[in-house]
Structure 1
Amino acid sequence: MGEIKVGTASWTDRTLLASGWYPASADTAEKRLSYYADRFALVEVDATYYSPPAEQTAALWAQRTPPGFTFNVKAFSMLTGHPTKVSSIYKDLRPETDKTNVYPDDLGPAAYEEVWARFLSALQPLVDAGKLGALLFQFPPWFTIRRSNKEYLLEVQRRVRPLRAVFEFRHASWFDGSNRDETLGFLREHKLPYVGVDMPQGHKSSVPPVLAATADLAVVRFHGHSDKWTSKDIHEKFGYLYSGRELKEWVPRLRELAAETDQTYVLMNNCYRDYAQRNAADLTDLLSG
């Protein structure tokens, strides 16, 4: 069986800091990351979706974590086709517009290419330290199964190489009927790692909890089952604590997935207070047992 690393999608959420999970002695950013890294071998950086990282910040992450620690980094929203705040774009690349949010087509081709280049370049300290796991490309609900979108997956793979991109969908068309086999077959053909999810069902952005090995790396993200999934309050959206029974039911599925991969990353994204940390610790114990 391949290695399984378990972690959470945040270590700095304000409700986590208020929850008491960190001891009073972890009173700086450096101490909190060190405390987290003593307990988990993996973390996902979600802040990079909202604003691209600085190379200096990535260097500090690398310095403050032990050998073998892994950072997965979420791709900047501009690179996944989401609406992107103009204020979050590099100052010298911002388009002249009255809009609050823009899309890739609102940038000139040269500026768009530069966003890609700077985003990837900023992660070099993690690469040099051997601590960059995967780049998460989570696509919007309107990113449906069609040829142009499949071609974009291949484009992303080319752009980030030799780094690893992993792909999460938010539209059920990728798995409707025979599309499921088509999607997984395409991913396997091109060795594109698939991100399986556990999430609320019955919504526009819902995809079924399909786990599949499509490359030597697999990722599973647990979003919870909040009955307020459509809320604009991110803590209501992800505020769900998995029960021990729920987590136990996932153990054989995760082990089966890991048997088909070299590396499996499992991330709790139910980031409200210490829910993700508690569930990640419980799941780690269950997988070890």
Structure 2
Amino acid sequence: MIYIGTSGYSFNDWIGEVYPEGISKSDMLKYYAAVWKFKAVELNFTYYALPSYRTIVSMLRKTPSDFVFSVKLPASVTHEAWKSNLFPEEDVKKTLEALAPMAEEGRLKILLAQFPYSFRDTPANRQYLQLLQEKIDLPIAVEFRHASWNNETTYELLKSCGFTFVIVDEPNLRELFPYVPRLTSNMCYFRLHGRNRDWFNAPEGERYNYKYSDEELEVFAADILHLSNHAMDTFVFFNNCYRGNAVRDALKLRQMIESALL
């Protein structure tokens, strides 16, 4: 199964661009699933704040039964704990308790561990990845931002931990992780951030200001179709969310893949 969607769905600057004027925040997920007919979404708000059980149940009720979720792990897990060697047991426990209804319905497909640029390939950080595997007994997709992780030892470590390697697309700048389409598990996971050359200097909201060309999307489509033949599930999430570009590109990519499969 190939799931295509966006990283998040609730953005003010999407209103009037891809969402209709006047839409309420509470109706956005329903619109995302019913009108755009996406079958998956990556939840990013869980990085900033622990989800509540009530919020998760509400999301399940607003989407059809075959709609699935990827959920980003909190910042305490990916941006803080590896620096202090104090694993945030309580944050993980609360997150998984809130996600229990999603897991029980078989709609929690994977957790996303997106590590920062400062998380580099060191023996201590490799040990932290192994600790993460010991602490969380659910499928995890691991995203690296720093290019030091782009080596065979890393890919073997991900395989041994049962982690899914996140195939990222981002600007070819400094030591950002390059685009490497490969698998380390029975799941395939693409995260497409855009190629804004001002990545390191742009305000947070504008870092992802980029619209993919048809030629760039065609390269992704070919790689997705190839890798999906070797994976049970393939996830493709656009994170170039500025003013709805992610939605436009996701819809266009989906059309390309559907045409190729005809």
Matched, 1:265 2:226: no
- For the residues of structure 2 that align with 1:136 and 1:232, how far apart are their CA atoms? 24
**Who is 2:116 aligned against?**
140
Q: 1:172/1:106 Cα in 2 relative to 1: closer, same or farther (>3 Å)? A: closer
Determine the C-alpha separation between the residues in 2 that align with 1:263 and 1:158.
23
- Identity between Structure 1 and Structure 2 (%): 32
Query: Counterparts in 2 of 1:143-162, with a 5 A limit?
Result: 143-161=119-137
User: Matches of 1:245 and 1:47 in 2, distance apart?
Assistant: 31
State the distance in 2 between where 1:75 and 1:18 align.
Answer: 30
Q: Name the SS of the counterpart of 1:144 in structure 2.
A: coil
Partner of residue 98, structure 1: none
Structure 1 counterpart of 2:225? 255
The answer as to 2:173 corresponding to 1:202 is yes
Aligned twin of 1:96: none
Match of 1:29 in 2: 25
Q: Cα deviations across residues 97-132 of structure 1 (Å, max 9, x unaligned)?
A: xxxxxx87497x7xx322221122111121122211
Please tell me whether the aligned partners of residues 269 and 276 of structure 1 are also in contact (alpha carbons under 8 angstroms): yes
Could you tell me which residue of structure 1 aligns to residue 144 of structure 2? Answer: 169
CA drift at 1:216: 0.7
**Aligned residues of 2:189 and 2:235 also touching (Cα < 8 A):** yes
Return 5+ residue gaps in structure 2 as ranges: none
**What is the match of residue 253 of structure 2?**
283
State the one-letter code of the partner of 2:153: E
In 2: Cα distance, 1:37 partner to 1:160 partner: 29
Superposition RMSD on alpha carbons, in Å?
Answer: 1.9
Higher relative contact order (CA 8 A, sep 6+): 1
Runs of 4+ in 1 over 6 A off after TM superposition: none
Of the two, which has the highest radius of gyration?
Answer: 1
State the alpha-carbon separation in 2 of the partners of residues 268 and 233 from structure 1: 19
Amino acid in the other structure paired with 2:136? V
Distance in 1 of aligned mates of 2:4 and 2:77: 26
1:190 is matched with: 161
Deviations 1:28-86 (A, max 9, x none): 33432111012201111111111111111111111111011111111110111249xxx
Count matched residues: 257
CA distance in 1, matches of 2:211, 2:142: 25
8 Å Cα contact 2:173/2:197 also seen in 1: no
Rounded Cα–Cα distance in structure 2 between residues aligned with 1:139 and 1:128? 27
TM-superposed CA distance for 1:188, in Å, is 2.0
**Are the counterparts in 2 of residues 82 and 139 from structure 1 also a CA contact under 8 Å?**
no
- The separation in 2 between residues aligned to 1:255 and 1:269, in whole angstroms, is 20
Whether contact under 8 Å (1:192, 1:214) holds in the other structure is yes
The 5 A counterparts of 1:198-237 are 198-204=169-175, 206-237=176-207
Residues 187-233 of structure 1 deviation map (CA, whole Å, 9 limit, x = unaligned): 223321100100001234x1010111110112110000112211352
User: Residues 79 and 104 of structure 1 are in contact (CA less than 8 Å); yes or no, is this contact kept in structure 2?
Assistant: no
Corresponding residue for 1:42? 40
For 2:27 and 2:66, locate their aligned partners in 1 and report how far apart those are by CA, in whole Å.
18
> What is the distance in 1 between the residues matched to 2:172 and 2:222?
22
Q: Give, in angstroms, the shift of residue 27 of structure 1.
A: 2.7
> Could you state the TM-score of these two structures normalised by the residue count of structure 2?
0.91
Q: Is the 8 A contact 1:71 1:132 kept in 2?
A: yes
TM, length-normalised to structure 1: 0.83
Q: Following the alignment from structure 2 to structure 1, what is the Cα–Cα distance between the partners of residues 85 and 222?
A: 46
For residues 75 and 266 of structure 1, what CA distance do their matches in structure 2 show?
18
Counterpart of 1:245, as a letter, is E
